[in-house]
Structure 1
Amino acid sequence: MKVGFDAKRIFHNTTGLGNYSRDLVSILSKFSPENEYVLYNPKPKKVTRLHLRDNMKEVLPEGMVWKKLSSLWRQRAVSKQIKRDGIALYHGLSGELPRGLENSTVKTVVTIHDLIFMRYPKLYSFFDRKIHYSKFLYAARTADRVIAISEQTKRDIMAFLKIPEEKITVIYQGCNEAFKQVRDDAEKAALRAKLNLPEAFVLNVGTIEERKNALSVVKAMKNQDIPLVIVGKKTDYYQQIAAYIGKEGMEDRVQFLEGLSLDELATLYQMATVFVYPSIFEGFGIPIIEALYSQTPVITSNSGVFPEAGGPHSAYVDPYDSEELAKMIKKLVASPADRAEMITKGREFVQKFDDAVIAKNLNRLYEEIS
């Protein structure tokens, strides 16, 4: 079967949507090598994290006009290329489908990661909300099947977009192979020297924005005897965190990092004493999975998708309660036995997100609608 993908995030995004897109295509390429995977990229790549195997092909816009109008090509004109290329099934990997496929023989699938713009509208501008809603609603209505990356997202698709339950299939995300490889002491020592890392630390990973709630982590670390390392791209929200750190004199106990390679990030996870992720809301929360595969104990939020991603043996707190978070951090840092049990049980739980399981579920869905 010839399968096409919206590859914008694959070649132009280094965070959640990009990681999901690259991992999904890589998993399918490995476990279903008999298929051909065509990656429709609107403009020359900026990210080279996906190794193109023999059964993958990158396709760019044809002609100078569409190379100049790459966004319009991705939204509409690419449909002509998809049909001409003989694509049997087209998968929109980030909530969008191009217009023009709905009356063709090409079957369509769209993955919706979350509807945060509807659940928390204050985090988005009026125009961004309208644009997102229009694209997501069109894709969900016209697709032959909708993939939700969690039961939480499935419920939101039904509630906010009014899509019937039978049209939605939950297929979880996995994570990059880098987080499943055990890093040796030499790799850890090299990274510690390069980044001037402490011997023990609490780790938080994710874009430094209000929804990720890193300020609560910093507040929880105020009276801890262990430093904090935060990894992520800074937004305006970072200024609130920096102001608090300065006010409380915590400059030498909080370290910010960004621009790490996947291998460096994977090594950092395995070096951490505890991973803390008190996000307010996510469609899934892939850093939790990365931490579990890295054999690092997880503290995360007690509502929404987080128990679904973290499993029964992670620790859960009210994300708005920094005192509760502080107590949990202190408890786990002081108890190697508790951490060891969480690591063992977490490693068992996270196997449900294994690549082979994801590939099997994706192939079953593709075959059902082909």
Structure 2
Amino acid sequence: MHIGFDAKRFFHNPTGLGNYSRSTIFGLAEHFPQHSYTLYTPRLSGPFCTLPACHGLHVQEACPLGRAFPALWRSLGIPRAARGHGLDIYHGLSHELPLTSFGSRTRTVVSMHDLLFLTHPHLYPWVDRQLYAFKYRQSCLRADIVVAISQKTADDVHELFAVPRERIRVAYQSCSPAFGVTRDQNEAHRLRTIHGLPERYVLFVGSLIPRKGAQTLISALAQVPGADRPDLVIVGKGPLEPALREQARDCGLAGRVHFLGQVADADLPGLYQQAALFAYPSVGEGFGIPILEALSSRVPVITSTGSCFAEPGGDAALYTTPGDASALAEALARVLRDSDLRHDMIAKGVRHAQNFHISRTSAALMQVYADLCTKR
């Protein structure tokens, strides 16, 4: 098969949808090298521009006009650029498909990550909600198959966009295998030195926006008894950071909450592995990839009830109601005090994470492509 991808996020997003794009494409190229893969991008630039050549991937950059108007090229120009490539599958990796047709040969797939702008509308500006609803609904209705990255997202696509169940497939995402590789003491010392890590800490990784729940975590940490209270290390950036710093000061935790900003991908596994536990009190997600990163890193996880969290967390995580700082404080104290519980959570986490090994997620997605091609 010849499979094409919308690769804008692959090249230009360092986190989130960019990580999903890179993980998906590299997993397919590694485990199914007999197929051809083409990446369509308005501009071949950025820190990831040399990676396709290392994996035997072909890149199709936009024409000069397309580079000048990248959004228009993604909507109208990609099918024209792809007509001579004989694509069997075109996969829009981030909610969208072009508005024009690829022709009868090419089957189309679109990945839907979440519909939080509809399930949690108060978290999004009105204009964004209208734009997302129009673009994402149209892409789902035009696609031959909608790939949902969790069962929760699949349910939302069916219920909110009226897409028939038979046109929706759940294909989970994976995280980098690097999270399962144990870092040695030299690496641990290097990370502690360059990031100023405390001896014992709870880790949070995510954008600093209200939905992710970092404010709840700071409130919870302030309620943990002083003898048990670890520091908090926050990895990520976002508009909420000034308010979180002020909140930490008001709670008497100014010296106990460490804001690292955006750290290098190579440092993340070591930051997870040195944490006493990982807390992710988000209100809602499409999948919650940091949960899987933490489980793969052999770290106990506390996350939220509802949304999709039981899918990446399974029976390995503890769950508290989002926004309930007191319940989160009790869970933090319990895991920090009880070594038997910690060991049980770690063992269960390693087992559960194997369900999302990149060999399995790649095989599930390739089966979606194969099924589409057999129906031509």
TM-score range, shorter chain: over 0.9
Q: Is the counterpart of residue 258 in structure 1 residue 271 in structure 2?
A: no
1:178 touches 1:262 (CA, 8 Å); kept in 2?
A: no
Q: How far 1:111 sits from its partner (Å)?
A: 0.5
User: In structure 2, what is the equivalent of residue 304 of structure 1?
Assistant: 307
The 1-side partners of 2:74 and 2:166 are apart by 28
Q: Is the counterpart of residue 227 in structure 1 residue 251 in structure 2?
A: no
2:87 touches 2:105 (CA, 8 Å); kept in 1?
A: no
Q: How far 1:103 sits from its partner (Å)?
A: 4.7
2:6 touches 2:40 (CA, 8 Å); kept in 1?
A: yes
1:10 touches 1:50 (CA, 8 Å); kept in 2?
A: no
Assess, with a 3 A threshold, how the Cα gap between structure 1 residues 43 and 72 changes in structure 2: closer, same or farther.
same
Q: How far 1:27 sits from its partner (Å)?
A: 0.3
Q: Which runs of no fewer than 5 residues in structure 1 stay unpaired?
A: none
User: In structure 2, what is the equivalent of residue 129 of structure 1?
Assistant: 129
Q: Is the counterpart of residue 213 in structure 1 residue 213 in structure 2?
A: yes
User: In structure 1, what is the equivalent of residue 362 of structure 2?
Assistant: 359
Q: How far 1:14 sits from its partner (Å)?
A: 1.3
Residue by residue over 1:271-301, the C-alpha shift from the partner in whole angstroms, topping out at 9 and shown as x without a partner, is 0000000100001000000000000000000
The 2-side partners of 1:54 and 1:275 are apart by 32
Residue by residue over 1:217-266, the C-alpha shift from the partner in whole angstroms, topping out at 9 and shown as x without a partner, is 0001114321000111121x223322211222211000011221112011
Q: How far 1:90 sits from its partner (Å)?
A: 0.3
The 2-side partners of 1:118 and 1:102 are apart by 30
The 1-side partners of 2:83 and 2:232 are apart by 51
2:26 touches 2:55 (CA, 8 Å); kept in 1?
A: no
Q: What is the 5 A alignment of 1:340-359?
A: 340-359=343-362
Q: How far 1:50 sits from its partner (Å)?
A: 7.3
The 2-side partners of 1:164 and 1:223 are apart by 47
Residue by residue over 1:170-198, the C-alpha shift from the partner in whole angstroms, topping out at 9 and shown as x without a partner, is 01110012212111111011100111111
The 2-side partners of 1:345 and 1:49 are apart by 37
Q: Secondary structure at the match of 1:351?
A: helix
- Which stretch shifts more, 197-206 or 51-60? 51-60
1:93 touches 1:111 (CA, 8 Å); kept in 2?
A: yes
2:223 touches 2:326 (CA, 8 Å); kept in 1?
A: no
Q: Is the counterpart of residue 175 in structure 1 residue 179 in structure 2?
A: no
Q: What is the 5 A alignment of 1:27-42?
A: 27-42=27-42
2:6 touches 2:41 (CA, 8 Å); kept in 1?
A: yes
Residue by residue over 1:63-109, the C-alpha shift from the partner in whole angstroms, topping out at 9 and shown as x without a partner, is x2222111110111111011222211100001100111265321100
Residue by residue over 1:116-139, the C-alpha shift from the partner in whole angstroms, topping out at 9 and shown as x without a partner, is 111112222222112111111111
Q: Secondary structure at the match of 1:141?
A: helix
1:83 touches 1:106 (CA, 8 Å); kept in 2?
A: no
Assess, with a 3 A threshold, how the Cα gap between structure 1 residues 35 and 102 changes in structure 2: closer, same or farther.
closer
Q: Is the counterpart of residue 331 in structure 1 residue 358 in structure 2?
A: no
The 1-side partners of 2:347 and 2:269 are apart by 18
User: In structure 1, what is the equivalent of residue 291 of structure 2?
Assistant: 288
The 2-side partners of 1:121 and 1:219 are apart by 25
Q: What is the 5 A alignment of 1:11-30?
A: 11-30=11-30
The 2-side partners of 1:326 and 1:60 are apart by 50
Q: Secondary structure at the match of 1:256?
A: strand
Q: Secondary structure at the match of 2:278?
A: strand
- Number of residue pairs matched by the alignment: 368
Q: Secondary structure at the match of 1:4?
A: strand
1:4 touches 1:90 (CA, 8 Å); kept in 2?
A: yes
The 2-side partners of 1:54 and 1:322 are apart by 45
User: In structure 2, what is the equivalent of residue 191 of structure 1?
Assistant: 191
User: In structure 2, what is the equivalent of residue 277 of structure 1?
Assistant: 280
Q: How far 1:313 sits from its partner (Å)?
A: 2.3
Q: How far 1:15 sits from its partner (Å)?
A: 1.4
Q: Which amino acid aligns with 2:115?
A: L
Assess, with a 3 A threshold, how the Cα gap between structure 1 residues 288 and 54 changes in structure 2: closer, same or farther.
closer
The 1-side partners of 2:71 and 2:43 are apart by 9
Normalised by the length of structure 2, the TM-score is 0.95
Q: Secondary structure at the match of 2:51?
A: coil
User: In structure 2, what is the equivalent of residue 248 of structure 1?
Assistant: 251
Q: Is the counterpart of residue 58 in structure 1 residue 67 in structure 2?
A: no
The 2-side partners of 1:87 and 1:102 are apart by 8
CA RMSD of aligned residues (A): 1.3
Q: Which stretches of structure 1, 4 residues or longer, exceed 3 Å deviation after superposition?
A: none
The 2-side partners of 1:143 and 1:102 are apart by 11
Q: Secondary structure at the match of 1:222?
A: helix
Q: What is the 5 A alignment of 1:65-144?
A: 65-101=65-101, 103-144=103-144
The 1-side partners of 2:204 and 2:96 are apart by 30
Q: How far 1:49 sits from its partner (Å)?
A: 7.9
User: In structure 2, what is the equivalent of residue 368 of structure 1?
Assistant: 371
Assess, with a 3 A threshold, how the Cα gap between structure 1 residues 115 and 108 changes in structure 2: closer, same or farther.
same
Q: Which amino acid aligns with 1:322?
A: A
The 1-side partners of 2:170 and 2:55 are apart by 29
Normalised by the length of structure 1, the TM-score is 0.97
Residue identity (%): 37
Q: Which runs of no fewer than 5 residues in structure 2 stay unpaired?
A: none
